[in-house]
Chain A
Amino acid sequence: NAGVMQNPRHLVRRRGQEARLRCSPMKGHSHVYWYRQLPEEGLKFMVYLQKENIIDESGMPKERFSAEFPKEGPSILRIQQVVRGDSAAYFCASSPLHMPQETQYFGPGTRLLVL
């Protein structure tokens, strides 16, 4: 049973370009979460999605960032007009349910570097 998959593992972009990060949850998981980790920091929650629905985006910056989880295919985190401060590791996690005490399982992350 494959775990959470993320691609690309590394992404380099110049300022002003767009970054697209993809996440495929574990088989049987329909809940996806995106987190960002800045250097020397813990992971910070960004957004929680179910298929075709954004449930909670309270942790996501209001501008330039968007996320989707279409009916078919992976979840996408999109960052438009990237700036140097967007350089970070972006992790996706999934869970089978969204219960109050449900464990989230993480992918290997995408390391974004903005030049």
Chain B
Amino acid sequence: DQQVKQNSPSLSVQEGRISILNCDYTNSMFDYFLWYKKYPAEGPTFLISISSIKDKNEDGRFTVFLNKSAKHLSLHIVPSQPGDSAVYFCAASGPGGGADGLTFGKGTHLIIQP
């Protein structure tokens, strides 16, 4: 039973345009959400996070939106750059959700086309 779902295995976006990566969760106890970026043969790199008390958090080109009623969050990257090509993981944590560790989605492979 997957508690964090990323339904798009891959996404292709033209350089300079907006990339939107989506994530859905089922456990209403999750109260903290994170996005990680991962290059091949490397560990996940923390990008941005959001607490359940907020609906938006912005950091440079990256913005995360949280819709608690829909149990949905999204990561917006604008403008997209070639170096953004990577696998993006959505992760969640909270009391009773995934024990003491983060619960991850399966990832979305973002490909930025020149």
Contacts and interface: CB of A to CB of B under 8 A. Distances in A.
A40 B104 CA distance: 13
Interface stretch (B11-19, B29-37, B62-70, B71-79): B29-37
A115 to B, nearest CB: 20
Interface residues of B, number: 29
Given A4-B43, A100-B93, A45 B102 contact: yes
A69 interface: no
B102 A105 contact: no
Contacts of B36: 106
A48 B99 contact: yes
**Number of chain A interface residues as a range:** 20 to 34
Given A91-B43, A103-B46, A106-B43, A45 B101 contact: yes
Contacts of B105: 42
Nearest to B89: A42
A41 interface: yes
A33 B101 contact: yes
Contacts of A103: 34, 46, 49
Contacts, number: 73
A107 interface: yes
B93 A101 contact: yes
Contacts of A106: 36, 43-46
Specify which of A98, A101, A104, A106 lies most central, judged by the most chain B CB atoms within 10 Å of its CB.
Answer: A101
A44 interface: yes
A107 B32 contact: no
Interface in A91-109: 91, 98, 100-101, 103-109
B101 A59 contact: yes
Contacts of A111: 41
A102 to B, nearest CB: 8
7 contacts: A42-B107, A43-B44, A56-B101, A91-B43, A100-B32, A101-B93, A103-B49
